[in-house]
Structure 1
Amino acid sequence: MLTRLGHAARRWVESPPWSNVYGLARTLLALGTLGTLVFSPVDALFTPAQGIPPAPHCGGIRAASLFCVVGQGHLEVARWVAVAILVVVASGWRPALTAVPHWWVAVSLHASATLLDGGDQVTAVLTLLLLPVALTDRRRWHWQPPVGRHDYATLAAVVGMFLIRVQVAGIYLQASVAKLGVAEWRDGTALYYWLNHPMFGAPMWLRGALRPFLSWGPGVATLTWGTLVLEFALAIGLFLPKRRWAPLLVGGLALHGGIALLMGLWSFSLAMFAALVLYLRPWDRPLALPAASTASRGGWALALRRPYSREATER
C-alpha cells in the first residue's frame, strides 16, 4: 500500500502547478477585491446595519484584520494600503512574497466589512487554499513558465490545488441542491423574478430587450432549469477526466459572465472566474497569455511567449 501511495505521489509531482493558469486565477481574485475597494467608499464598506455591531467588526480573531489594526479613524488609509497590495498581487510579482498579504487583505475585508457578497467569501477561502501553492512558487512573476521541481514543495502545492478543486465542486453542488428547496427554482420561474428585481435585476437599458423572452414561459423555464443543470454538471466535474473539462469551463464562464452583465455582480463573477480556472483548466496546459518578464532597469514588460531558462525564471 505504501508503495502504491509513493507511486501516486510521484505522478502528482510530475506536473508542477506553478504555471500561468494559477497565475491568472490569482490576478482575477485580486482584481475582484480591488474593484470593490476602489469603487466603494469607506462609508459604504463599513456602513451601519441593523442587528449587527458597528463596522469594522473587530471582535475576537477579527482584531487581526487590516481594518482593525489601523483603527476606526484610519479606514481610508487601510483601504488604500489594501489597494496597493492588490495591485502588486494582480501584476504577478513574487507570488511567494505576496501570497500572505493577499490572503490577509481578502480575509480582512470579509471579516470586517458590511458591504459584502459571495465573491468576498470565495476569495477569502481560495487565497487561503492557494498559500501552499504560492509560498512554494520560486518564480519572479506568476506569468512565467513553471520551474520543474520534484520534491515536497511540489507535493504540497499539488495538494493545495486538489483541495481547491474539491472546494469549488462543493460550491456548485451546494448552489444547485439548495435551489431545489425554493419553489420558484423548481417551477422554472426564478429568473423571471431575479432579472426583474428592482435592485439586483437586469439594468434598465437591457430590460426592454429581455422583456419578450422573460414573458415567454418556456424561455424562462429553460433559462432557470438550465442554470440548475449547469451548476450540477460543474459539481460533478470533479470526477470527470480532463478531456471533459473544457465544455464545463466555457459553460461556467458564460454563466458568471451573464451574472456580471445582467445583475452587476462583477466582483463575485471575477472570483468565480478564478475558481473555474483553478477547477477546470489543467495547470500543465499553460494559457496563451503574455508572460511577465523583467525588462531593463526601468521596470517590467510583457513578452509574448518568450522562452525562459530556469535561472531566468527564478531571478
Structure 2
Amino acid sequence: MQIMPAVHSLAGRLAEHTARHDLRSRWFGVGRSVIAAAQLSVLLLTPLKALLVPVVGMGEFPRCDSVRAASALCLGGDAVGAEPRRWLLIMVLLVAASGYRPRWTVIPHAWAAYSVAVSISVPDGGESVGMIMCFLMIPIGLADGRTWHWQRPESALAPSWRTVSLAAFLAIRVQIAYLYLDSALSKFGVADWANGTAEYYFLRDGMFGVSRPWDGVLLWMSKSPLVVVSLTWGALLIEIAIGVCLLSSGRRRKVGMVLDIVLHGSIILTMGLWSFALAMIGSAIVCATPDRRPAEPVAVDSGSDTGSAAAGAWAHDAGRAADPCPECGAHAPPAAAVSSV
C-alpha cells in the first residue's frame, strides 16, 4: 500500500525531531523569567487592597470557594493576614525568576501564577496567560535538572523527557498562536476595527489612552486618517503574523518573537499594561526557543530510562550535527566522540 511508506516516513521524521529536541537553553530561561517578572510587577507595584477590592455581585476577595481554596491568598484562612501571603508569593516568584533549580521551582511557580490569576478581583488578562503558560511549562521544567536555567546542560536528555517536553512545547506554541489569531480575526467583527478607526478611540480613552510623554505627538498624528488606519489594521496584521510565525520553523518563530516585542513594546510606551505585555513577550520568547542545540555533553540525565537508549539518541544527534549549529554558531562534537560513552 502507498500509505505505509508515507506513514513510516512521517514516523521517522517525528522520531528524528524528538531525538534532537531539547528546551534546556537560555531562550527558555529568559522567557520563563520574563513571565515571572510580569507576575512580580503585579504584586510588588500594586497595593494588595487594590488587587482584592470588592466587586458588586461577586462579594469580597479573595474568593476561597471550590478550587480557589488552593490559592496561596487563601492559605491559613482568617488566622493568616493578607500581607504574609503576598510576600510568600513574591518569594516564590523571585526564586522562579532567578532561574534556580527549574525542576524544583516549576510547580511552585505554577501555584503562584494560579493564586494570582484566580484570587485578584481585577485581572487584566496577563494573569490568565501567565497561569496557562506556567502549567504548560511544568513538564518542560521537570525535565530540566540544571542548577540554573541560564546554564548549558551537562547531560543528554532522556528519551521519555524529550517526548514529554516536546509535547508540552507544541501545546504552548498552539495555545499562544491561537490566542493571537483569535484576537485578530475576532476584531474584524467589530465595526471600529473593521473600518480602521479603533486606534483613534483607544488613544483617547480615559483609562487606557496614550500617556505622557507621547500623548501630544500621537494625538496629533492620529488626526490623520491614513495614520489611524495604518495603526489599526497594522496591529491586526502583526497579530496574525505572530500567530502564523509561532506555528512555523525555528527561524520564523524568532521573527514572530520580534514582532511580539514590537507590538507589546509599543503598547507599553503608549498605554502601559506592563504586566500583560511582559507575560505575552515572555510567552513569545519561550515559543521561539530553537528546535535543536549542539550535542556537547555526553553524560545522560536518565531519570527512569536506561542510559544506553538516551546515549544512542544523543549519538544520533551528534552524527547528524557536523555542520555549525544555526542557533549558536558552534560545532557539535563528532559522533565518534559520543559513541565512546
Shorter-chain TM range is: 0.7 to 0.9
| In structure 2, distance between residues paired with 1:246 and 1:161 | 15
CA shift at 1:243, angstroms? 3.0
C-alpha contact (below 8 Å) 2:23/2:289 kept by paired residues: no
| In structure 2, distance between residues paired with 1:152 and 1:52 | 45
Instruction: Supply the AA of the counterpart residue of 1:279.
Output: C
Instruction: Supply the AA of the counterpart residue of 2:92.
Output: I
Q: Which runs of 5+ in 1 are unaligned?
A: 287-315
Is the aligned partner of 1:35 residue 2:51? no
Is the aligned partner of 1:78 residue 2:85? yes
Is the aligned partner of 1:49 residue 2:55? yes
Is the aligned partner of 1:132 residue 2:139? yes
| In structure 1, distance between residues paired with 2:137 and 2:247 | 21
Number of the residue aligned with 1:142: 149
Which of 261, 264, 285 is the equivalent residue of 2:269? 261
CA shift at 1:71, angstroms? 2.5
Residue correspondences, number: 286
SS at match of 1:198: coil
Could you state the TM-score of these two structures normalised by the residue count of structure 2? 0.80
CA shift at 1:238, angstroms? 4.1
* Partner deviation per Cα, 1:148-179 (whole Å, 9 max, x = no partner): 22410121111111110000111101110121
Q: How does 1:239-250 map to 2 (within 5 A)?
A: 239-250=247-258
Number of the residue aligned with 2:192: 184
Q: Which runs of 5+ in 2 are unaligned?
A: 1-6, 295-341
Could you state the TM-score of these two structures normalised by the residue count of structure 1? 0.86
| In structure 1, distance between residues paired with 2:8 and 2:82 | 53
* Partner deviation per Cα, 1:240-284 (whole Å, 9 max, x = no partner): 333333332211110000111111100001100111112234253
Residues 39 and 9 (structure 1), Cα distance of their counterparts in 2 relative to 1, 3 Å cut:
same
RMSD between aligned residues: 1.8
Q: How does 1:186-225 map to 2 (within 5 A)?
A: 186-225=194-233
CA shift at 1:239, angstroms? 4.2
Is the aligned partner of 1:19 residue 2:58? no
User: Radius of gyration: which is bigger?
Assistant: 2
C-alpha contact (below 8 Å) 1:45/1:113 kept by paired residues: yes
SS at match of 1:205: coil
SS at match of 2:157: coil
Residues 98 and 234 (structure 1), Cα distance of their counterparts in 2 relative to 1, 3 Å cut:
same
Which of 155, 161, 171 is the equivalent residue of 1:153? 161
SS at match of 2:162: helix
Is the aligned partner of 1:276 residue 2:269? no
Indicate the structure whose relative CO is greater, using CA pairs within 8 Å and at least 6 residues apart: 1
Q: Which moved more, 1:230-239 or 1:42-51?
A: 230-239
CA shift at 1:285, angstroms? 5.9
Instruction: Supply the AA of the counterpart residue of 1:104.
Output: W
